[in-house]
């Protein structure tokens, strides 16, 4: 499917979430598709059925959502959705300036967000991209102090990270200096996107957010805003890839 098709499918899912129950296919075809200038009647029905991916539980006449039956994240280890902001792309030459994550454990949700003093100036283009300035980092702790604070919430968790090799390239050697080997199970949403959205030519978080119609996400390119976006796209892709089977994250 094209990126536009993914957006339309997500709007169908959003409409079902608003309703909280299955809706007739004919109603969704009329409301979601025909209202956007697309063909009506049988053509709209055919287009609708072509949009229904693994997120949707289909009956003969109605369509619902598998998420109503199977929770995300599935039961098992705690899940941590994580993101970093850094002074550049090199884990050897650059430093972390912000760490944020959301830890999900059953019904419990914990948010962690900390600025990090990198001990060196922030490049101007990083400040323009993230909005983080030298003033924000004045008095912030160093990276090892922040990692020691974060460690109890990260241990024994499954990590969900957009483009995981980048973040892990910064985190693993720094945790190792603290005497902790970071060997958590990791889900990379880029890898999921290759399978769930083969119609996308680019799989950066901006592209995934667009494909899933997440135009209302605020504070993008700040760590916590990107965590929120990563969590939402991971949830959509989990159901796309499992299609009603309540699989553990590592089995997807």
Angle at 188 (CA atoms; ends 92, 109), nearest 5 degrees: 100
Q: Which helix (H) or strand (E) holds 115?
A: strand 108-115
Structure token digits, residue 114 = 């900390």
d(CA 143, CA 120): 12
User: CATH fold of 79-251, please?
Assistant: Nucleotidyltransferase; domain 5 (3.30.420)
Domain boundaries of the chain, sorted by first residue = 3-68, 79-251
CA-to-CA separations, 206 to 14, 53, 92, 125, 194, in angstroms, rounded = 19, 21, 26, 18, 15
pLDDT in tens, 119-174: 999 999 999 999 999 999 999 999 999 999 999 999 999 999 999 999 999 999 99
Catalytic residues: 221
Is residue 204 within 8 A of residue 8, CB to CB? The reply is: no
pLDDT in tens, 67-116: 999 999 999 999 999 999 999 999 999 999 999 999 999 889 999 999 99
Cα-only R_g, the chain: 20
């Amino acid at each position: 499917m094209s990126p536009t098709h993914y957006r339309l499918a997500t709007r169908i899912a959003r409409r079902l979430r608003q309703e909280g129950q299955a809706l007739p296919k004919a109603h969704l075809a009329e409301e979601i598709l025909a209202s956007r200038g697309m063909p009506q009647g049988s053509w709209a029905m055919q287009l609708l059925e072509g949009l229904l991916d693994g997120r949707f539980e289909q009956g003969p006449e109605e369509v619902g959502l598998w998420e109503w039956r199977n929770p995300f994240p599935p039961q098992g280890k705690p899940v941590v959705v994580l993101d970093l902001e850094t002074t550049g792309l090199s884990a050897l030459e650059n430093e972390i300036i912000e760490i944020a994550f959301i830890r999900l454990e059953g019904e419990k949700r914990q948010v962690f967000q900390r600025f990090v003093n990198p001990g060196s100036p922030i490049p101007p283009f990083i400040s323009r991209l993230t909005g983080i300035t030298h003033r924000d980092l004045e008095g912030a702790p160093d990276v090892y102090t922040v990692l020691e604070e974060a460690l109890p919430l990260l241990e024994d968790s499954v990590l969900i990270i957009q483009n995981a090799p980048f973040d892990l390239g910064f985190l693993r050697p720094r945790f190792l200096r603290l005497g902790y080997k970071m060997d958590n199970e990791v889900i990379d949403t880029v890898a999921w996107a290759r399978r769930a959205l083969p119609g996308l030519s680019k799989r950066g978080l901006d592209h995934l957010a667009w494909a899933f119609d997440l135009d209302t996400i605020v504070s993008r390119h700040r760590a916590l805003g990107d965590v929120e976006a990563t969590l939402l796209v991971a949830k959509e892709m989990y159901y796309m890839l499992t299609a009603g089977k309540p699989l553990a994250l590592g089995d997807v």
